[in-house]
Structure 1
Amino acid sequence: MRIDVLTLFPDMFQGPLSESIIKRARDKQIVDIHFHNIRDYSTDKHNRVDDYPFGGGAGMVMQIEPIATLIDKLKSERPYDHIIYMTPDGERLAQRRVNTLSLAGNLMILCGHYKGVDHRIREHYITCEISIGDYVLTGGELAAAVLIDSVVRLIPGVLSDETSALTDSFQDNLLSPPVYTRPAEYNGWRVPDILLSGHQANIDKWREEQAHERTLKLRPDLLGKSERS
């Protein structure tokens, strides 16, 4: 997979995307991530990429020209499965969307700033708008890093145990069951006996029951139930 990130602050990605699973995926050349500074495509002598909004109002808006120029350049070099805009008013990111994006060959991600991008970019270039929650960040970089991490870890060959991702929370609209490891007893707190029984069928049943119970208690919306049901 190739991921092209359009941003005003490429260095913000160096920490989160240069460690752990993402570093391994990049080192193994399973994913190829490129960062493009939008300012490099400005026609202003000061590399300005924002201006006041038409109609007045507070804040600044990212200009259409440098973004459109960069997107057109990248599109001329390869086809993209999606051109994604990270925005608070986008589709709330969910595991089903992550699963779909993990199958893509080429993704482009645009990180907004200020009051956002000139809406013509969203109308004519963007194919998918994603939010990581109902709150506002300084820019789209941190949200983009979250999206990249969630997608890349699902690509075959990234995780040492590829079946691990299949048992993560939200894969079946369920939260994960409790997990334990050695020692079996600590400070008088014991691991549930069923997990030490060696009876895999009973263990699987227990885990399924726990997953349903935790989901019903903590996230009933995932089961299509109201919090008062």
Structure 2
Amino acid sequence: MRIDIITVLPELLKSPFEASILKRAIEKKLVEVHFHNLRKYSIGNYKQVDDYQFGGGAGMVLMIEPIDKCISELKKEREYDEIIYMTPDGNTLNQGISNEISLKKNIIILCGHYKGVDQRVRDLFITREISIGDYVLSGGELAAAVFCDSIIRLLPGVLNDETSALTDTFQDNLLAPPVYTRPSDYKGHKVPEVLLSGDFPKIEKWREEQAMERTRQRRPDLLK
């Protein structure tokens, strides 16, 4: 999988990809992640990538021309399955979307900034708009990092135990059941006996029941 990220702040984005699971995935060549500084495609001597809104109003808007130049250059090299714009008014990210995008070969992620991008960018280039929640960040960079983490961890070979992602919260529209580790008795707080029994069919049944009950209590909307 190849991910090309267009941003005005590549330095803000890079650190999550230089540690932990994302770093290992890149080192194992399971994914390529490339950062493209939009200012490289800027206009004039001042490297302008944003301007005031037509019609007035507070806040700057990313201009169409630098974004067009960047996307066009990338598309000369390969075909892209999706060009994704991170924006608060996009479709809210969920596990189903992450599962779907993890199967793609090449994607571009455009990070919004300031008051967003010229609407013509969205009309002409964007194939999907994604939000990580009903709140506003200073830019799309942190949202892009969250989104990338959610899809890269699903790629075959990224997690040491490939079945781990299959039992995550939301994979089957249920919250994950409680988990425990050593010691089995900590200051009188004991691990449920069934988990120590070695009876795996009984353990799986317990986990299913716990997942259902936890979902019913915390996220009943998922059961509708």
- Whether the TM-score (by the shorter chain) exceeds 0.5 is yes
Identity across the alignment (%): 63
More displaced 10-residue stretch of structure 1: 85-94 or 11-20: 11-20
1:84 equivalent to 2:88? Answer no
Distance 2:183 2:52 in 1: 61
* Corresponding position of 1:227: none
* Corresponding position of 1:98: 98
Q: How many pairs align?
A: 224
Distance 2:148 2:51 in 1: 29
1:74 equivalent to 2:74? Answer yes
Distance 1:186 1:14 in 2: 40
Q: What amino acid sits opposite 1:211 in the alignment? A: A
1:111 equivalent to 2:92? Answer no
Question: 1:67-104: per-residue Cα shift (whole Å, max 9, x none)?
Answer: 01100110111001100000000000000000000001
1:16 Cα shift? 1.1
Q: What amino acid sits opposite 2:140 in the alignment? A: G
Q: What amino acid sits opposite 1:167 in the alignment? A: T
Q: TM-score, normalised by structure 1?
A: 0.97
Distance 1:8 1:211 in 2: 42
Q: TM-score, normalised by structure 2?
A: 0.99
1:65 equivalent to 2:65? Answer yes
SS at match of 1:156: coil
SS at match of 1:178: coil
Distance 2:107 2:181 in 1: 38
Q: What amino acid sits opposite 1:89 in the alignment? A: D
1:192 equivalent to 2:166? Answer no
Distance 2:169 2:118 in 1: 36
Distance 1:106 1:24 in 2: 19
How do 1:23-172 residues align onto structure 2 when only pairs under 5 Å count? 23-172=23-172
Q: What amino acid sits opposite 2:84 in the alignment? A: I
Q: What amino acid sits opposite 2:137 in the alignment? A: L
1:14 Cα shift? 2.1
RMSD of aligned alpha carbons? 0.6
Q: What amino acid sits opposite 1:166 in the alignment? A: L
Distance 1:85 1:117 in 2: 9
